[in-house]
Structure 1
Amino acid sequence: MNDTKPIVAQPSAQTSWQRYVMTAGTVGLAVIGTQWLLNRETREGLSPGEQSYLNSTFKYTGGGLVLTAIAARTMFRAGLPFRLMAANPWLVLGVSLAGSIGTMMGAMYTSPENAVTKHLFWAGFNLCQAATLSPLWFFNPALLSRAALYTCGVVGSLSYVGATARNETYLYMGGPLLAGLTVVALSSLAPMALPLGLRGLAIAESISLYGGLAVFSGFVLFDTQKILKHARMAEAGAMPADPLRDSIALELDMINIFIRLVQILAMGGGRKK
């Protein structure tokens, strides 16, 4: 009779500690987040002007994201990512940056009275984003759907917090968020410029992914309150109403959160086989 017992793999001590820390961190953040959400100071409600401006901004944000997703899928099926990988990477980076920044600046700084030109720049900006994001379709569509769902949940909840908080509660965060964004950007570029070992690469990647997720989540709060401030200024006649311009910042926040969630989920084995 065979007395051989099945071998059960035991997690290492390091893995166990990582699980404990992640579990404790998740519980702690849930408690802090619940306390912050339920017991924070809120305003009585949005004025009709603020509601209209915020709704218009989110319509442009949603429309831009839909246009970007459809165009990215079309470009992927046309083989654009393969041609991008075969081209000079520095040339691709330069052209994509020039196209994205140029069309973004055109959309943001063209007067709302010149609606046709402004919307053409806006469409061009979203097409540039689509070209940059088209390689994401190499991932499993189910993974992309999950990341999109999580992104909507994160941005929706943070936008609600920003919209219901007292005026200018989170506008002070502009400076710290820019500093955090600089750290995230440098951590993304570090493997290209510094001879990092495996441990250094893992740390740099973690800062880029999880730090970037935190920074752009903070930007959602900041940009939501900035939109409401612009709504009040437009209502007072201090500036022209331009929800299209404000939508671009929110759209970039969502795209960056989405990209990092895709990468985090892919680390768990979400690539196409």
Structure 2
Amino acid sequence: MTEGPITQHAPGMSWQRMAMTAAGVAGAVVVVQAVLNRETRDSLSVAEKAYLHDSFKYTGGGLVLTALAARYMFKSGVAFRIMAANPWAVLGVSLVGSIGSMMGVFYTPPEKTLQKHLFWLAFNACQAATLSPLFFLNPAILSRAALYTCGVVGSISYVGATATNDKYLNLGGPLLAGITVVALSSLAPMILPASIGMRSLAVAEAISLYGGLAVFGGFVLYDTQKILKHARMAEQGLMKPDPMNEAISLELDMINIFVRLVQILSMQGNRR
């Protein structure tokens, strides 16, 4: 008597789990708002609301384009060829392409609409090529990480938008120091010798994952308040409004949070 092959089905996202996640995010918003925003502004001005809306519109559009392009690259086999190629060459090309297209967006004035949008599309294409191998993972993990990312970024953005003016803009220096530590801890497994022990590598990995979540969460606060400050400056005629530039920073924050959540959820799944 022969038995058929045993297949494992990925656990779906139940309504109960989604409700618990939503309740957790709502509770986190209340706690963070109470701790960090003891003094909140009355309301956003019309200019601030419009500029914040335009910035998040480009952020959402960029993330949708990145996800669709990454999915297409996975379905067409590009993701497999990326993983099979020289990892250092792929890293170098994606890094140069991402930085080059990002600088193109930043240094192209808003009046040159076509050129700026082409650089923006190139930037999202580079992000898609980098993220496309993630589709080899369990779709349930990607869905949960995306849901958690939206909850985290949404709650932190709300805290930043309702805080008093420029309250979190002094976080720039500490956040840059934090991102340096996170970057070095991410490179630790490739640089440090194996003789240092698995415990040291595990500590470096924890700093990269959980420290990265904290640092990029702080960047969401910082970038949200920076958008509001730029909105006031644009209203006063001190600078030209450029929501696409603002969106690039928010998009990178969200992608880094998403990737770290995917890694954390994958690790938790492997331990079960």
TM-score interval w.r.t. the shorter chain? 0.7 to 0.9
2:263 corresponds in structure 1 to: 263
User: Which residue number in structure 2 is paired with residue 215 of structure 1?
Assistant: 215
1:93 aligns with 2:91: yes
RMSD: 2.0
The ranges of structure 1 where at least 4 consecutive aligned residues each deviate by more than 3 angstroms after the TM superposition are 29-35
The 1:94–1:168 alpha-carbon spacing in structure 2 relative to 1, beyond 3 Å, is: same
Cα distance in 1 for residues equivalent to 2:135 and 2:80: 12
TM-score w.r.t. structure 1 length?
A: 0.86
**1:243 equivalenced with 2:243 (yes/no):** yes
**1:69–1:130 contact (8 Å) kept in structure 2:** yes
Q: Secondary structure at the match of 1:267?
A: helix
* Counterparts of 2:65 and 2:161, CA distance in 1: 26
1:62 aligns with 2:63: no
Kindly provide the amino acid, as one letter, of the partner of residue 155 in structure 1. Answer: V
The alignment of Structure 1 onto Structure 2 pairs a total of residues equal to 244
Distance 1:268 1:161, change over 3 A: same
* 1:39/1:169 CA distance change after superposition, 3 Å: closer
Structure 2 runs not aligned, ≥5 long: 1-23
Q: Contact 2:83–2:133 (CA<8 Å) still a contact in 1?
A: no
Tell me the amino acid that sits aligned with residue 222 of structure 1.
Answer: Y
Q: Report the Cα offset of residue 32 of structure 1.
A: 9.7
Cα distance in 2 for residues equivalent to 1:225 and 1:264: 28
Aligned mates of 1:269, 1:173 — CA distance in 2:
34
- Whichever residue aligns with residue 91 of structure 2, its letter is L
Q: Is 1:51 matched with 2:38? A: no
What do residues 63-108 of structure 1 show as CA deviations (whole Å, max 9, x unaligned)?
A: 0000000000000111112211222222111111110000001011
Paired with 1:123 and 1:32, the residues of 2 have a C-alpha distance of: 36
Q: What is the Cα deviation at residue 36 of structure 1?
A: 2.8
Alignment check: 8 A CA contact 1:139 1:270 kept = no
Given the alignment of the two structures, is residue 166 of structure 1 paired with residue 164 of structure 2, yes or no? yes
Aligned to 2:202: 202
Shift in Å at residue 37 of structure 1?
Answer: 4.8
* Structure of larger gyration radius: 1
Alignment equivalent of 1:72, drawn from 70, 75, 93: 70
SS at match of 2:173: helix
1:270 CA displacement = 6.7
Question: Partner of 2:100 in structure 1?
Answer: 102
Distance change in 2, residues 1:238/1:270 (3 Å): farther
For residue 80 of structure 2, the aligned residue among 76, 79, 82 is: 82
Q: Is the 8 A contact 2:178 2:215 kept in 1?
A: yes
Provide the TM-score with structure 2 as the length reference: 0.86
TM-superposed CA distance for 1:45, in Å, is 0.6
Equivalent residue for 1:124, pick from 122, 125, 134: 122
1:1-40 alignment to 2 at 5 Å?
Answer: 33-34=31-32, 36-37=34-35, 40=38
